[in-house]
Structure 1
Amino acid sequence: MNYRINNMKCLLFIAFSFGFILHAQDKKTQRAKQDFNSYAYAEAIESYEKLVKEGYTSEEIYKNLGDAYYQKGNYNASAYWYEQLFNLSDITVDAEYLYKYAQTLKSSGDYTGSDAWMQKFTEQKKADIRALKFKQNKDYLQSIKKNSGRYDLKNIAINSTSADFAPSFFGERLIFSTARDTGRILKSVHKWNNKPFTNLYTAKVSENGEYMAAERLSKKLNKKTHESSTAFTKDGSTVYFTRNNSKNGNFLRDKEGLSRLKIYRATLIDGLWKDVMELPFNSENYSVAHPTLSKDEKKLYFASDMPGTYGQSDIFEVDINEDGTFGVPKNLGNEINTESRETFPFVTGDDVLYFASDGHPGLGGLDIFATKIDDLNAIYILNLGEPVNSVQDDFSFIIDEETKKGLFASSREGGVGSDDIYSFTETKPLDLICKTIITGVVKDKETGGALGNTEIKLFNSENRLVSSSSTNEMGVFTTEGNCAKGSYKIVASKNDYDEGESTFVIEKGGDVSDVEIMLNQVDKSAPLGTDLAKYLNIEPIYFDFDKYFIRDDARASIDKVLAYLNEYPKVNIQVRSHTDSRANEQYNQLLSENRAKATAEYLIEKGISSDRISYKGYGETTLANSCDNAVPCSKENHQLNRRSEFIVVE
């Protein structure tokens, strides 16, 4: 009896203790989840990693740890936790994690592993823009390598140990955003990364191009919130900038606890920034950020996750009216925007849009891309390559087209802080003309043989000629088109063949290969009994008096007969040679046979099969004129009879 009672007490104690442990674990998990859902990623990471050290594992813990590090831009740590997630058994993970894991693997240089996970993602999300771009650009690393080496970089002197980013030009000065702690904002710490909130700073540019004397901008622009990404009008009187949603300088949050980003406009009056107002398409429910102006200052470009966005953030444009009001924001479309992040746009005077993205094929993290936006039907997205792009985040690119100098921000290794600003000089211009390379082969439909010297023409859907070229001796052709969407056709034409064509559709740009066009031969060869010398309209093949060697002037004509025989391999000929009437008939017969033999042997030596050529001498029996033995003739008239003919016999 006592044994049973003691046993029961022990079981009750174990059950109570286990229940207490479960309650404690649940409480810690809920706290970490609350931090994560409140975008307090630094605190969420600390809480989750403590749970892991204590032996707790779950799909949610690994997902949120991976996502928290991903949002902070620590892709190596993010990759580690995503790997733990995929090592769990009996779970079904959303395809988006396949993409994120593929992206993070690039930060350690594991492009083979990244591509393998991207292939899995593509198989699950066939219609995803990112999947389509990956499928169409399997050799993206080679393309990036080809575009690399265009810039000389330098880490600028004013970078701090905190984040410095979002540079912009303001006359001769540099404006940028920084999270450096001046001592006045110690209480303004962002729980996303436990760093001070960002503020706008300005720096002078020295005569040798160095940036110096960074100082904080006006309190009118800097509040107890994040400020970043400025765009100034050319006259310097107006600035557009990014700030968290706020009131009286303090955060305003939505129902999810998130303070959205908004674009504000301010005017410079008597040297002071005044009339700060938010733009009308801002919202409490989505973010609008990172403004940039077109050259004529009639359009504003920005990043947003407003309704109509394809992914986490897209690039939009909006008209600025004459009276300072704004039109309706327009998404730039899914050639530029993907299901991931497209952000930090910058537009040059030549309508080149630079932007950061982790949705287009890149080196890792955010990469910087460029495209011409004056023709969105033939858009070509160019990855700027190394050294501007790296395995980490690279973003907020700006350039002065006249000086070819600019700046951008990066979280790459070797910097002073978490994000640093780098200056650069462009040493090689971008080639942003969209090109589609079409390659293929033309063959004889009956024999399958390659057809060299075939004319190739590329036509668009409106039957306009886009480009032309010809095949080489192997029947292979390469021609170049643009990237405009639509139907295209390749037309191949060659003498003595019917025209042939191949049609294809270009939807997302990219090259077209393995086009095969088969041509039907049409028999346009000379009829039986034809003298090819007359048919080909070539100079007669004449011989010197009493000689049978092939003269130099005759070789050019015989070579044209040779080309004809090569083009028509089924044609057989008989070489018929003649003499003039001088000398006796027996001698002339032998001389004509030697002339016929010499002509035939010349063709055989040039590659014509001997079974295609016969020859015969006719002596003086078939004169071309009336210069027989009874008629006195000039040397020139006798020359007309010393000739060879090429008669089609089969």
Structure 2
Amino acid sequence: MKKYIYTLASLLLVSGIALAQKGNLKRANKLFEMRAYTQAAETYETKARTQEVLQNLADSYYYNTSLEKAIETYRELFVKYGDSIDIEYHFRFAQALKGVKDYKEADKHLSKYYNKPVNTLEFIEANKKITPHNFELKQIENEGSRNDFGLSFYRDNKVVFASARNTENPSYSWNELPYLDLYTATLTNSNTLINVQPFSEAINTSSHESNAVFTKDGKTMYFNRTNSTRKKTDKERIAHIKIYKAELINGEWTNVTALPFTSNSYSTEHPALSNDEKTLYFASDMPGSYGSFDIYKVAINEDGTYGEPENLGKTINTKHREQFPFISELNVLYFSSIGHQGYGGLDVFRSKMVNGDFDKPVNLGSTINSNLDDFAYVIREKDNMGYVSSNRTGYDRIFSFSRQENLLAKYQVEGVVKDKNSNKLLPGALVEIIDQSNNIIKDTIVGENGYYVFKLEPNKLYKIRGTRQAYIDQELEFLTSKYGKSHKIDINLESLTNAEERIRQNDKGELQVQLDKIYFNYNASEITSEAAKTLDVLVDLMKKYPSIEVEIAAHTDARGSEQYNLNLSKQRAALVLEYLVNQGIDENRLKSVGYGETRPLNKCVKEGICDDEEYDINRRCEFTILK
């Protein structure tokens, strides 16, 4: 895939630079500058093995994935001219070595390049316990071409992909294959592409088109197209790539225009839409990039205009290539990189969005990444299926995949829930795991043994929260180990009755807040100043324990009619609730109930049998903890 994804440059036919002139070193350098690597290599092979010739010859082999020849030539280069070679040749030599799985020699050059120890075999072993999924890949059968890649979801079972199958197209000087066009096809249940047809003539031109992405309604598409003219950039003359937009109107693709932030001086490529279609992600080597290609994002405004492109930063981007972004419906960023540690060539990585930023990328592992280029990853998360492209077979191929959780990668958190004071197990307690976005991602209610266990991702910050009725919530923060080890966290909950003298259990087993009695004047529902002072104690208690929910139960004495007393008690309970809300207590934590004269505390069950003091006992409010 290096022939396409390095920049998708060198797009003009260079057949005019005749092979008859391959003996001319100046002409060979021109071919190399124009990235006609196949023809350049043929010329360099005939020349004296100077440092310049060996450097360009090795690079020509490397960029065309002739790795064995590249390794042989790089090795000769380092033997002859090691002290004077630019440090970047160490990186490319290492990538060529990784391409044939010679990791030990590759690490020597990478260690020198990064000026720190690099151990790829150790990384591969550790990554088995880090990558979140295992993948099962199946090559998609597709007659008619050896070079297809970048399959996109289109509509129903229709897909769109890029292919070099059109032999009527001019040959691409990089690899002497036809220029890329976009194609549509039907993907069958047997993993075969049928009814392969060229995409609209309004989209396919005599240049390269690739990497299409579509809005959910299928009426807007974004895609790559390479400029038909070259731009002089430093020592190279490059045909840059632009992202284009097209609209489907009355069944025809039209209004094909380059996006306003594209340029003839740099490339923008590999468009990807966020789930809400308000953000476009792409790769670019525009000014301000960290190195080769970086991942960017740009806002798509409601009026169809675009914001300013934003680089995703050093967490995602390196000085080398980061390309082929894809944003899943869960806001997970997938992309390919040769700059982050991997197996060789481009590897696919994932990064989760946390509080608006993407976290440290994780290599998706050896079940999907190879020692060569793996790229153009797309997925439907909920179905655990998708597509990826790779040149592991020698040509670009599209693979479908399914995925399963990698149990080796899960960090196990386990423990029991106990009473803090008695150490008794607390069956029925709820245990929750909360991520950095404050979302509850896992929960369980413990059984008689009080035991819980969760499988989590390694190297992540989480909170664990234990709750149980009549107990104070406990919340703890912890960081999972990088290498998937388990950890024991016991949750010790303190009962409210132990923590607060005012909270007691009644003879029905209910938890009640014991306040000084709130008295209401006879035939009145106003809260007195003394009652307000008492209620402020409850306000403080509920602010101290923000998860507590309370029932306000108002009672009357038996004087007056039963219906009148019921209404009066409801008014009193509602008035208490209003007072608490005015003091800053969330109304959702409160419930008001009026019981009238139905629950007396003494024998005064009807009018005329008790004195005033005895009746006063039944004019009261009670506060029961519901949760």
Q: TM-score, normalised by structure 1?
A: 0.58
**Unpaired segments of 5 or more residues in structure 1?**
1-23, 246-250, 438-478, 485-505, 514-650
1:133-148 mapped onto 2 (5 Å cutoff): 134=118, 139-146=122-129, 147=131
1:153 aligns with 2:130: no
Q: 1:208 to 1:192 in 2, by over 3 A?
A: closer
Larger radius of gyration: 1
Counterparts of 1:156-175 in structure 2, within 5 Å, are: 156-158=140-142, 160-172=144-156, 173-175=158-160
Whole-Å separation in 1 of the counterparts to 2:275 and 2:357:
21
Displacement of 1:36: 0.2
**Structure 2 CA distance, aligned partners of 1:83 and 1:376?**
45
Structure 1: distance between partners of 2:93 and 2:356? 31
Matching of residues 442-481 of structure 1 within 5 Å: none
Partner of residue 225 from structure 1, selected from 183, 193, 207: 207
1:43 shift after superposition = 1.0
Deviation per CA, 1:272-311, whole angstroms, max 9, x where unpaired? 1000000011011100000000000000000000011111
Q: Which residue of 2 aligns with 1:189?
A: 171
Quote the RMSD (CA, aligned, Å).
3.1
Secondary structure at the counterpart of residue 386 of structure 1: coil
Q: Deviations over 1:439-464 (max 9, x none)?
A: xxxxxxxxxxxxxxxxxxxxxxxxxx
Structure 2 counterpart of 1:81, which letter? Answer: T
CA distance in 2, matches of 1:481, 1:390: 23
Structure-1 separation of matches of 2:408 and 2:211 = 27
Judge conservation of contact 2:23–2:46 (CA < 8 Å) in 1: no
Distance (Å, rounded) in 1 between the aligned partners of 2:329 and 2:386: 14
Partners of 1:315 and 1:343 within 8 A in 2: yes
Equivalent-residue separation in structure 2 for 1:302 and 1:226 (angstroms): 17
Q: Is the 8 A contact 2:295 2:322 kept in 1?
A: yes
State the partner residue of 2:474. Answer: none
Deviations 1:541-565 (A, max 9, x none): xxxxxxxxxxxxxxxxxxxxxxxxx
Residues 211 and 480 (structure 1), Cα distance of their counterparts in 2 relative to 1, 3 Å cut: closer
Deviation at 1:209, TM superposition (A): 5.0
Residue correspondence of structure 1 range 410-421 to structure 2 within 5 A? 410-413=390-393, 418-421=395-398
Give the whole-Å Cα distance in 1 for the aligned partners of 2:412 and 2:229: 49
Q: 2:87 aligns with which of 63, 88, 95?
A: 95
C-alpha separation in 1, matches of 2:458 and 2:402: 31
Q: Corresponding residue for 1:339?
A: 319
| Cα drift, residue 227 of structure 1 | 0.4
Q: Distance in 2 between matches of 1:388 and 1:404?
A: 14
**Partners of 1:402 and 1:149 in 2: how far apart?**
14
- For 2:405, the equivalent position in structure 1 comes to 428
Query: 2:163 is matched with which residue?
Result: 178
Q: Give, in whole Å, the separation in 2 of the partners of 1:77 and 1:192.
A: 17
> 1:237-275 CA distances to partner (integer Å, 9 max, x unpaired)?
000000002xxxxx1221343210000000001111000
Alpha-carbon distance between aligned partners in 1 of 2:356 and 2:412, rounded to the nearest angstrom? 15
Give the count of matched residue pairs: 401
d(CA) in 2 for partners of 1:138, 1:214: 41
User: Where does residue 104 of structure 1 map in the other structure?
Assistant: 96
Q: For residues 9-68 of structure 1, give each alpha carbon's deviation from its aligned partner in whole angstroms, at most 9, with x where no partner exists.
A: xxxxxxxxxxxxxxx9996221111100111111111111232xxxx1011111112222
User: Does structure 1 conserve the Cα–Cα contact (< 8 Å) formed by 2:214 and 2:222?
Assistant: yes
Query: 111, 122, 127: which is aligned to 1:119?
Result: 111
Secondary structure in structure 1 of the residue aligned to 2:382: coil
Question: In the alignment, what sits opposite 1:241?
Answer: 223
Whether the 8 Å CA contact 2:230–2:238 is kept in 1: the answer is: yes
Contact 1:149/1:386 (<8 A) preserved: no
Distance 1:377 1:226, change over 3 A: closer
Deviations 1:104-148 (A, max 9, x none): 11111111111122111122xx7xxxx8xx58x883111333338
- Which segments of 5 or more consecutive residues in structure 2 lack a partner in the other structure? 1-19, 414-455, 462-478, 486-627
In 1, the alpha carbon distance for the partners of 2:366 and 2:391 equals 14
Which amino acid in 2 is paired with 1:31? R
Counterpart position of 2:46: 50
Residues 376 and 94 of structure 1: CA distance in aligned 2, closer, same or farther (over 3 Å): farther
- Whichever residue aligns with residue 404 of structure 2, its letter is T
- Residue in 2 aligned with 1:642? none
1:274 and 1:300 map into 2 onto residues whose CA distance is 20
Structure 2: how far apart are the matches of 1:299 and 1:429?
31
Tell me the amino acid that sits aligned with residue 86 of structure 2: D
Residue 254 of structure 1 corresponds to 231
| CA distance in 1: counterparts of 2:390 and 2:143, whole angstroms | 11
Q: Distance in 1 between the 2:22 and 2:201 partners?
A: 45
Q: SS of the residue aligned with 1:35?
A: helix
Distance 1:90 1:431 in 2: 42
SS of alignment partner, residue 69 of structure 1:
helix
Q: In the TM superposition, what are the counterparts of 1:365-380 in structure 2 within 5 Å? A: 365-375=345-355, 379-380=359-360
> Alignment partner of 2:383: what SS?
coil
Q: Residues of 2 paired with 1:259 and 1:342: CA distance?
A: 19
CA distance in 1 between counterparts of 2:407 and 2:197 reads: 34
Q: How does 1:409-558 map to 2 (within 5 A)?
A: 409-413=389-393, 418-428=395-405
Match of 2:5 in 1: none
Could you tell me which residue of structure 2 aligns to residue 204 of structure 1? 186
Q: Distance in 2 between matches of 1:334 and 1:376?
A: 15
Instruction: Indicate the larger mover: 137-146 or 103-112.
Output: 137-146
Change (3 A) 1:360 1:162: same
Residue 501 of structure 2 is matched in structure 1 by: none
Contact 2:21 2:27 in 1 (8 A): no
- Quote the residue 2:380 is aligned against: 400
Where does residue 563 of structure 2 map in the other structure? none
1 CA distance for matches of 2:297 and 2:365?
A: 26
Distance 1:374 1:237, change over 3 A: farther
- Which whole-Å CA distance do the structure 1 matches of 2:79 and 2:367 have between them? 35
Percent identity over the alignment?
A: 40
Kindly provide the CA deviation profile for residues 142-197 of structure 1, in whole angstroms up to 9, marking residues without a partner as x: 1333338711111111154432111100012110000113x432xx1111111100
Distance 1:298 1:157, change over 3 A: same
Counterpart of 1:41 in structure 2: which amino acid?
Y
